[in-house]
Structure 1
């Protein structure tokens, strides 16, 4: 794919993710925040943090849009480059780990309902959230070090995190491989195991309502589809890059798929939380009510104008 096609493609994906992801994630964030305040639960905390992670990625997308418009060069102040890069890549792995945490929580609640109910405490979920954020931020700081600390002898041509020296590659390529194995492939295998057994156990329970079983299957399929589509190509590029000792030319396209994760996550929220469904329906009903009121107001104005016109005409005729 040529550079003339690549830049418009990048911009279109960023705009699509931003336009669809921001309102849906803000709606989900508000819903989970209210739910956690009223009745805290591990799943609610995990989904709330997952939403915040997606919003962080979406909030740095305008910087990436400006970069795409500028022909994949960095026209903004240089100090923003490592910050945007750090937030962008950290949010990817934070989302992966929280999706995995949700799958583990769902599986344990079905496989060991009585035993897990005894040891299940919200404070443990708070510690897990803190660990995920801290570990991911620390792990992602390597990209910050590569940009700001290690010297670069190659001309960057105003580009951000795209060209690397031999010294930078010596640190970056093993780091990417380790990140893909530790923070994606292991969580991916755990998620597959949890959701496969989650669905299998639910289907074997005759007392569970059919609607609930359907939701569980949709949840598992949506999560695994999200993992496969958004994260597998990107993390495979790290393995290929380590073998070839360079960034694969198709890595940039695989990275675009990870951006779409912020738009796909709300689908998982919708299937996994009745609170999100109710909030979404309330918003639709409120929007529909406003539109109906606006239409009625416009009709009333038109009728008033018509009435005034008829009155004026009658007055003129009588004169």
Structure 2
């Protein structure tokens, strides 16, 4: 009896594998188990609640009109909080989508809006994190120079450029996102007229622009910053300061890498499959069905972690939070 059940499950999996092998012109996740869908909905709910509280606290502490003028980093933190706040507001839609086994109930217009907002804020969040790393390095490096340094672009211009770049990077999503009827179910997904080739190009852009380049810039900026602080600490005999900054930077880089790397790694595997550089086999099907949705959840938690990392790790924000709690 057990062998018969295993045979039935195997035949069903192979049939589903053949089905999804033919769907090479769209981006679709195979059906997961009800337990997995429930787990994803639960994670989305927790991330949404934590992200709302965390990012609203950031907006409250920065107070938009006062704190943002004190430094370029604070202005970036403000925009990052707005970005992550917009992002977590899309999570209830994706939770419902997962609960209904990826059947999109909100119509074509909302599919295009929600998918575009999700992708745009993913790019914007990563770009702001990158800009903050470069800004931190540049501000420290400039303060140590005796000669007059050239004035860098204003925080408003920098943030405006980031929003423009995020919008341009999201253009393919806005154009090609649609509700498609797949095996009798209405799915919110991307559908390119050129088939799997352009879908692979889309994912390559996402990997390079949304992860590889930002991760490289963040790592290089913070490594250069650590070198400056190390040299300065040796001259001033202040190893405590160096240790504190090193710990902060390590947490920033590791959280960014850990949250996004698994998702982009599986996406890269998907690109290789679409370009026929790797086989679409049972292992890929299992990973794409059961592991990939969890990596998406992990990536989404980055929007919850950002306010904790960039604000609660800073003493002035922790003091404000204590005063707020004691006042309550």
Residue 255 (structure 1) shift? 1.4
CA contact (8 A) 1:215 1:271 kept: no
What is the CA-CA distance between 1:69 and the residue it aligns to?
Answer: 2.4
Q: Provide the residue aligned with 1:282 in structure 2.
A: 323
So what's the TM-score if we normalise by structure 2? Answer: 0.77
Would the aligned equivalents of 2:176 and 2:192 in 1 still touch at CA under 8 Å?
Answer: no
Q: Does 1:263 align with 2:294?
A: no
Alpha-carbon separation, structure 1, partners of 2:100 and 2:182: 20
Mapping for residues 84-123 of structure 1, pairs under 5 Å: 84-115=114-145, 118-121=149-152
What are the within-5 Å matches in structure 2 for residues 19-168 of structure 1? Answer: 19-34=49-64, 36=66, 39-115=69-145, 118-121=149-152, 124-148=154-178, 154-155=182-183, 157-161=185-189, 164=191, 167-168=194-195
| Residues 139 and 79 (structure 1), Cα distance of their counterparts in 2 relative to 1, 3 Å cut | same
Q: Give the structure 1 partner of residue 294 of structure 2.
A: 253
Corresponding residue SS for 1:74: coil
Say if 1:74 and 1:160, in contact at 8 Å, map to a contact too: yes
Cross-structure match for 2:198: 171
Match of 1:226 in 2: 255
User: Which ranges in structure 2 are unaligned for 5 or more consecutive residues?
Assistant: 1-30
Structure 1: 5+ residue runs without aligned partners?
288-319
| Mapped contact 1:36–1:45 kept (Cα < 8 A) | no
Distance 1:280 1:34, change over 3 A: same
Give the Å deviation of 1:95.
1.0
| 1:271 Cα offset (Å) | 5.2
Where does residue 298 of structure 1 map in the other structure?
A: none
Aligned partner of 2:207 in structure 1 is 180
Determine whether 1:243 maps to 2:272: yes
Rg larger in structure: 1
- Write the distance in 2 (CA, Å) between the matches of 1:208 and 1:83: 54
Q: In the alignment, is the contact (CA less than 8 A) between 2:76 and 2:159 conserved in 1?
A: yes
Q: Normalising by the residue count of structure 1, what TM-score does the alignment of the two structures yield?
A: 0.79
Which has the larger helix fraction? Answer: 1
Larger relative contact order (Cα-Cα within 8 Å, sequence gap ≥ 6): 2
Aligned Cα root-mean-square deviation (Å): 2.8
Task: Mark the CA change 1:237 to 1:102 in structure 2 (over 3 Å): closer, same or farther.
Answer: same
**Superposition pairs of residues 188-203 of structure 1, within 5 angstroms:** 188-203=215-230
Helix, strand or coil for the counterpart of 1:106? helix
- CA positional deviation for 1:50: 0.8
The answer as to whether partners of 1:31 and 1:275 remain within 8 angstroms in 2 is: no
Q: CA deviation at 1:120?
A: 4.3
2:214 and 2:262 map into 1 onto residues whose CA distance is 15
Distance apart, 1:117 and its partner CA: 7.4
**1:173 touches 1:238 (CA, 8 Å); kept in 2?**
no
